[in-house]
């Protein structure tokens, strides 16, 4: 099979969140048996520069009234796996991926329209044939449509499209005027197609025109067809539910395993679990916290957004800090929520640290140091941190939603099965009770190490998830042969 994977970010080249992790790992793992090309914008990151990709094509594209040059650079990662970067200095040679401190770049629609058109145009110009084109999120959601419209339709006639929604909260909604830039037939700007209450909604294109629609966990696939989780698209998603399913993301254990993590103070594994404590002691001392080796440390590593449930912290933490517990938050994002977290850290300097940064190495150190990982997301398509937490013996306490519900099994003290703790709803007293229960079990060394061991033994490797993707790709292709 020949697969084209399109994404606006991919590790190690550019990352702002889980999409980057997935787009880095899945193509690589699929390439163990299939031919895979990853295409992404050529941002100005060190990692893309270091990739030393070579120019394979240069052409110009009309977007709206303007003409823009596309420079396609390619590098081979392995015999079956190549990466193509779509370069255009005007659109992509910036410090951010989607925006800067002032917010999202105002021309994001044009930037990613250019990326999508340039990627498909390159494929057409070079006569490359793909069985599957796999797009992700709104930045590549026009692809399933563009490849069915002239002048690309003939070239992609034998290609099937798969589209993954990583987060329904981000739909790529732009003023109606943006539609003109697409040069798509005017009938497509209608409520049945891309119009959404007078605006242009990019995600609708991926939902309507893809041959198969995916989300990143089975639970999230069920949730998004419901009104309270559908972000206004539940009706549309319900209409296409027959082609919608969920595959839980894998994690890249070559990056996230305390056994050979180069960023942590003390490496450890299931067999040397007590050594984990040295990471906590090191973090306490690095951050000037007075905690001891037996003091529980709860961590949170998160984008700061309403989605991640950070709004609960100002009510929860003052109550929680009545217990003997330390809390370290690593995250960046929304300004006013950031201020609330900073205020809290200021109020509880003996108990809490707020590390307002995006720092991969620090994320590893926190995972290694923590006893508990808190993830109170209001919704969570998959979530990766809780899965990393499992492998690091950092026991997740999560809201039972989406991928959090799918990946964490409630610990049962009678059977000793389970990997973490879950709560439902928004009631602070309920959340507090669940954390207090975890802290009570933390005092019992044998029970606690059992919970940690249960989590560390779990296998969420990409190899498993990739097998589900391959089955799905093969099914689409075989269905088509029957239809011919
Ligand atoms: P989302 O994609 O919604 O942000 P996920 O849990 O799926 O959430 O993925 C988040 C990824 O981003 C994880 O790899 C996590 O470690 C990383 N991450 C989030 N915030 C930070 C941060 N401030 N510093 C370093 N890594 C972060």
> 239-274 in b/e burial notation, b at 16+ Cβ within 10 A?
eeeeebebbbbbbbbebbbbeebeebbbbbeeeebe
pLDDT confidence of residue 480: 62
Ligand 1 within 6 A of CB of 303: yes
Domains and their CATH numbers in the chain: 2-250+463-478 (3.40.50.2000), 270-458 (3.40.50.2000)
Ligand 1 within 6 A of CB of 25: no
Instruction: Please work out, in degrees rounded to the nearest 5, the angle formed at the alpha carbon of residue 159 by the alpha carbons of 153 and 164.
Output: 105
305 phi and psi angles, rounded to 5 deg: -150, 165
CA nearest to 435, candidates 331, 334, 323:
323
pLDDT confidence of residue 143: 98
CA nearest to 387, candidates 261, 268, 248, 222:
248
Looking at the chain, the number of H-run helices and the number of E-run strands are: 18, 20
* Å from CA of 363 to ligand 1 middle: 8
pLDDT confidence of residue 102: 87
Residue of 18, 332, 406 with the most ligand 1 atoms within 8 Å of its CB, for mutation? 18
DSSP class of residue 105 equals -
Ligand 1 within 6 A of CB of 332: yes
pLDDT confidence of residue 484: 34
Residue of 300, 302, 390 with the most ligand 1 atoms within 8 Å of its CB, for mutation? 302
Ligand 1 within 6 A of CB of 302: yes
Beta bridge partners of 55: 73
172 contact partners, CB below 8 Å, separation of at least 6:
108, 109, 112, 137, 138, 139, 141, 201, 202, 203
- Is residue 56 within 8 Å of residue 73, measured between CB atoms? yes
From first to last of its 484 residues, the chain has per-residue pLDDT tens of 999 999 999 999 999 988 999 999 999 999 999 999 999 999 999 999 999 999 999 999 999 899 999 999 999 999 999 999 999 999 999 999 999 988 899 999 999 999 999 999 999 999 999 999 999 999 999 999 999 999 999 999 999 999 999 999 999 999 999 999 999 999 999 999 999 999 999 999 999 999 999 999 999 999 999 999 999 999 999 999 999 999 999 999 999 999 999 999 999 999 999 999 999 999 999 999 999 999 999 999 999 999 999 999 999 999 999 999 999 999 999 999 999 999 999 999 999 999 999 999 999 999 999 999 999 999 999 999 999 999 999 999 999 999 999 999 999 999 999 999 999 999 999 999 999 999 999 999 999 999 999 999 999 999 999 999 999 999 999 986 544 3
In angstroms, the CA 390 to CA 460 distance is: 10
* Å from CA of 217 to ligand 1 middle: 17
Ligand 1 within 6 A of CB of 375: no
* Å from CA of 78 to ligand 1 middle: 27
Nearest residue (CA) to ligand 1, atom 24 = 358
pLDDT confidence of residue 479: 85
pLDDT confidence of residue 441: 98
């Amino acid at each position: 099979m020949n697969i084209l994977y399109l994404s606006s970010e991919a590790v190690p080249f550019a990352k702002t969140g889980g999409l980057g992790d997935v787009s880095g790992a899945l193509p690589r793992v699929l390439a163990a048996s299939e031919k895979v090309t990853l295409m992404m914008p050529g941002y100005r990151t060190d990692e893309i520069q270091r990739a030393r990709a070579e120019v394979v094509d240069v052409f110009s594209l009309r977007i709206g009234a303007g003409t823009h040059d596309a420079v396609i650079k390619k590098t081979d990662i392995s015999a079956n796996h190549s990466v193509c970067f779509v370069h255009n200095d005007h659109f992509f040679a910036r410090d951010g991926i989607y925006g800067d401190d002032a917010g999202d770049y105002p021309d994001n629609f044009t930037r990613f329209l250019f990326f999508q058109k340039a990627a498909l145009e390159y494929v057409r110009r070079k006569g490359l044939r793909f069985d599957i084109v796999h797009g992700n999120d709104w930045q590549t959601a026009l692809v399933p449509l563009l490849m069915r419209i002239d002048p690309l339709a003939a070239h992609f006639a034998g290609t099937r499209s798969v589209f993954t929604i990583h987060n329904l909260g981000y739909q790529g909604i732009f003023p109606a005027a943006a539609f003109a830039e697409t040069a798509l037939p005017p009938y497509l700007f209608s409520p049945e197609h891309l119009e959404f209450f007078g605006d242009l909604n990019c995600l609708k294109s991926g939902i309507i025109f893809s041959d198969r629609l995916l989300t990143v966990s089975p639970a999230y696939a069920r949730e998004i067809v419901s009104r309270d989780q559908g972000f206004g698209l539940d009706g549309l998603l319900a209409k296409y539910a027959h082609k919608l399913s969920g595959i839980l993301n894998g994690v890249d254990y070559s990056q996230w395993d305390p056994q050979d993590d180069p960023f942590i103070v003390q490496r450890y594994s299931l067999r040397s679990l007590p050594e984990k404590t040295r990471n906590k002691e090191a973090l306490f001392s690095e951050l000037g916290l007075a905690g001891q080796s037996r003091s529980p440390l709860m961590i949170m590593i998160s984008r700061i957004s309403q989605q991640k449930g950070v709004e609960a912290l100002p009510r929860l933490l003052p109550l929680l800090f009545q217990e003997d517990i330390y809390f370290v938050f690593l995250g960046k994002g929304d300004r006013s929520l950031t201020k609330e977290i900073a205020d809290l850290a200021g109020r509880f300097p003996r108990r809490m640290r707020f590390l307002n940064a995006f720092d991969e190495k620090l994320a590893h150190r926190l995972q290694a140091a923590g006893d508990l990982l808190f993830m109170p997301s209001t919704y969570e398509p998959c979530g990766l941190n809780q899965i990393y937490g499992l492998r690091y013996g950092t026991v997740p306490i999560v809201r039972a939603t989406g991928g959090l519900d799918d990946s964490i099994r409630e610990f049962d003290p009678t059977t000793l099965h389970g990997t973490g703790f879950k709560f439902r709803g928004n009631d602070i007293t309920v959340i507090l009770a669940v954390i207090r229960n975890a802290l009570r079990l933390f005092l019992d060394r044998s029970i606690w190490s059992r919970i940690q061991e249960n989590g560390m033994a779990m296998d969420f490797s990409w190899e498993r998830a990739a097998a589900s993707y391959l089955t799905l790709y093969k099914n689409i292709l075989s269905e088509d042969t029957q239809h011919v």
